Amino acid sequence: MLYVTKEVYFNAAHRLFNPDKSEEWNRNVFGKCSHPNWHGHNYTLQVTVAGEPDPETGFVIDLSVLKGIIQKKIIDLCDHRNLNRDVPFLKGVIPTTENLVEKFYSELKKEVGMRSAENADLYSVKLYETDRNFAEYRPGRSR
């Protein structure tokens, strides 16, 4: 099994806020990340595809194809946007790193599968909110 990863970058604003809870609750839980005037991050997104290389090309997935998928499905929709307000597939989602990475995986899965080698699939999506804070989503894997 081989693992191929593409790394991309985008900038976005968000607010961690649960609309079902009070302002006080949100401040206590999310701290400064719940500021009503938003805050932003320079995100790093890593998308990994796993599989066996195609015998004709040697690719698990052509990295330029993977870059195009990520651009269309995530970057074009999220870069320089407000994740709470501007991104249709994030409507109603509290944009924590954990929730974002799972939603990004869902957005990428079908198209990556169609464009990969026959025995390859989307393996994981990792999102860095800062250099030291990140989440990774790998469905169906044990802890």
Q: Give me the active site residues, please.
A: 33, 80, 129
Closest CA to 49 of 58, 60, 39: 60
Long-range CB contacts (< 8 A, 24+ apart) of 18-27? Answer: 18/94
What would the two tokens of residue 131 be?
Answer: 């250099």
DSSP reduced 3-state for 2: strand
Positive or negative, the CA dihedral 58, 60, 66, 67 is negative
Q: Please give the Cα distance from 100 to 127 (Å, whole number).
A: 8
What lies within 8 Å, CB to CB, of 108 at 6+ separation is 47, 69, 70, 73, 74, 122, 125
